[in-house]
């Protein structure tokens, strides 16, 4: 019998559990540190703001103080619930640029070019716009288009018109043939409900007799003997449980928890393990290295008419929207509030976009935990392919202790340059005639913040994580690689890592969709049914 233990019921883990348990001869156990994620806020797309405020289903991590942010520590939310961060996030669906995956292949990773990955992206999707050469039509994850052009809010329509006036390109589908340009946003929403991997893939698999799901069970170490993983140890209901397998252990804890657990289990940089009194099983220097994240700033623009989502944060309107959702599954609560996305180049001559914009129709601060009581929208900009690299390391041999997260933001000065350029382009957009009827004062950075020195200070004071950490168990063959191109941990038998941590370089956009693709791709490798490449 094929026997799999999956550690982590997040975006990737739920997909793996579903796909691997399709084989009735297999036995699959999924171990998740958090709860089941049932409840209205996890179903309702607009619930993500309240989830962020409450901290429910969230590890609630923080980075170490960042020199590139003026010594600020960054709030670093990560999902601790079935569905993982995909059960909490803003539901924005972005695959990345084809060039991202072709780059992975050029680094020597067989079967990870865009043409190799495209069938697995298509397998994920049930796309509202219909199936074509790029998009899937009957996959588990419903993907919707934010709004038809004539259904967009006045601000959304004005932004699209302003983009054309500014000479920025447009694209009918940034997940299709062309990423570059302004476009209507795609969202993990179908029939008014969030489409996480838990509510789709895992929900469809729950009745299978060969699948066991253990929640509220924090894995404390991977069991290793003779160079092979043979099980896991976890804490559940006050007891320490050891679970063994004759097959594979698959680590799907995400870019923070996966390197942490490898290090706690004795797999990682020898000096780090020695410093924390963890017996070394396998010296693997790259575990926890290569941390990459998108970091963004907001050009906050006040508007002179009540076209933002501010009204729906007030008690009466919020209650009306909630009532409509509960009665009919329709209305404002079915939206994540994101109508427009854009992918642009910060300068001529680069191969593909290196800046992304979200346009939330609400002014807020502190990661959405504080709403600014003014009508407005933000051009929320981030560089897509930062050069800065950080690391994740254990802070203690105690599995309950939070890891030390050091993204090392803006340690490469070109990341600051890209972010400054993104602010300039956002201001050029907002200055266009299409927004003349709405434009109030620029709240941030503010009209007097213009030169590089002032913009750098603004960026360091206000920049926030876009919650896209990747890379800490990097795929490849180099000295800091952790897994091979079939996601097997170098030097350890029976152990794979399948999550965003395996990305050698960050994708050009939100990272939930490519993480789903990675899980689909890995399931094919593991089950031996990969239609693209065979070992």
Question: Which SS3 state, helix, strand or coil, does residue 324 take?
Answer: helix
CB 88 within 8 A of CB 77: yes
Chain CA centroid to CA 73, Å: 20
Q: Which residues are paired to 283 by β-bridges?
A: 268
Per residue, the 3-state secondary structure of 225-276, as one string, reads: ECCEEEEEEEEECCEEEEEECCCEEEECCHHHHHHHHHHHCCEECHHHHHHC
CA torsion 307-313-314-317 (nearest 10°) is: 70
Detail the DSSP E strand segments found in 113-157. 125-127, 141-145
| CA distances to 107, 171, 487 from 503, in Å | 11, 26, 10
Interatomic CA distance for residues 300 and 426, integer angstroms: 10
Q: Quick check: bond before 504 cis, omega within 30? A: no
β partners of residue 404: 393
Query: Looking at 282, 424, 468, 533, which residue is catalytic?
Result: 468
Query: Which alpha helices (DSSP H) does 431-473 contain, by range?
Result: 452-462
DSSP secondary structure code for residue 373 in this structure = S
List of residues 6+ apart from 348 with CB closer than 8 A: none
358 a catalytic residue: no
- Contact residues for 231 (Cβ-Cβ < 8 A; gap 6+): 5, 222, 223, 242, 243, 244, 245, 249
Q: Contact, 305 vs 435, CB < 8 A?
A: no
By CB atoms closer than 10 A (0-12, 13-18, 19+), residue 460 is buried
Other CB atoms within a 10 A radius of the CB of residue 98 amount to 19
The set of catalytic residues is: 468
């Amino acid at each position: 019998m094929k026997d799999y233990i999956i550690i982590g019921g997040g975006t990737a883990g739920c997909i793996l559990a579903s796909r691997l348990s399709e084989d009735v001869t297999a036995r699959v156990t999924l171990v998740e540190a958090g709860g089941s994620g049932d409840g209205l806020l996890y179903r309702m797309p607009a619930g993500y703001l309240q989830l962020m405020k409450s901290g429910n289903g969230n590890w609630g991590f923080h980075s170490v103080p960042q020199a590139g942010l003026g010594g600020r520590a960054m709030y670093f939310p990560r999902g601790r619930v079935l569905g993982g961060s995909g059960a909490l996030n803003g539901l924005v669906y972005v695959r990345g640029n084809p060039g991202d995956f072709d780059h992975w292949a050029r680094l020597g990773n067989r079967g990870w070019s865009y043409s190799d990955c495209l069938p697995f992206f298509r397998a994920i999707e049930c796309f509202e716009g219909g199936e074509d050469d790029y998009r899937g039509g009957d996959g588990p994850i419903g993907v919707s288009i934010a709004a038809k052009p004539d259904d967009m809010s006045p601000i959304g329509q004005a932004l699209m018109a302003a983009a054309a006036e500014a000479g920025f390109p447009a694209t009918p589908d940034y997940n299709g043939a062309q990423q570059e340009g302004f476009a209507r946003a795609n969202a993990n929403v179908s029939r008014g409900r969030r489409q996480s991997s838990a509510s789709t893939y895992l929900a469809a698999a729950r009745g299978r007799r060969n699948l066991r799901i253990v929640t509220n069970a924090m894995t404390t170490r991977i069991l290793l003997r003779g160079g092979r993983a043979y099980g896991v140890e976890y804490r559940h209901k006050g007891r320490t449980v050891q679970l063994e397998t004759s097959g594979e252990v698959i680590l799907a804890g995400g870019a923070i928890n996966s390197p942490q657990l490898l290090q706690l289990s004795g797999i990682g940089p020898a000096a780090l393990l020695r410093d924390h009194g963890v017996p070394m099983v396998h010296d693997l220097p790259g575990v926890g290295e290569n941390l990459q994240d998108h970091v963004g700033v907001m050009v906050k623009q006040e508007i002179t008419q009540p076209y933002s989502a501010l009204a729906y944060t007030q008690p009466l309107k919020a209650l009306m929207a909630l009532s409509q959702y509960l009665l009919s599954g329709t209305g404002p609560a079915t939206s994540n509030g994101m109508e427009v996305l854009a992918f642009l180049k910060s300068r001529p001559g680069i191969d593909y976009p290196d800046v992304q914009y979200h346009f939330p129709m609400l002014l807020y601060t502190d990661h959405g935990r504080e709403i600014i009581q003014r009508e407005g929208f933000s051009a929320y900009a981030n560089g897509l392919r930062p050069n800065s690299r950080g690391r994740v390391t254990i802070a203690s041999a105690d599995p309950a202790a939070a890891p030390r997260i050091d993204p090392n933001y803006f340690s490469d000065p070109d990341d600051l340059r890209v972010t400054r350029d993104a602010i300039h382009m956002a201001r050029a957009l907002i200055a266009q005639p299409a927004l003349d009827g709405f434009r109030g004062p620029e709240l941030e950075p503010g009209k007097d913040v213009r030169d590089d020195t002032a913009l750098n200070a603004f960026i360091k004071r206000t920049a926030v994580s876009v919650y896209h950490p990747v890379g800490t168990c990097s795929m490849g063959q180099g000295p800091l690689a952790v897994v091979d191109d079939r996601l097997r941990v170098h030097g350890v038998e029976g152990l794979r890592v399948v999550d965003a941590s395996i990305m050698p370089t960050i994708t050009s956009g939100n990272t939930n969709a490519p993480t789903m693709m990675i899980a689909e791709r890995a399931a094919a490798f593991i089950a031996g049914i990969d239609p693209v490449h065979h070992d």
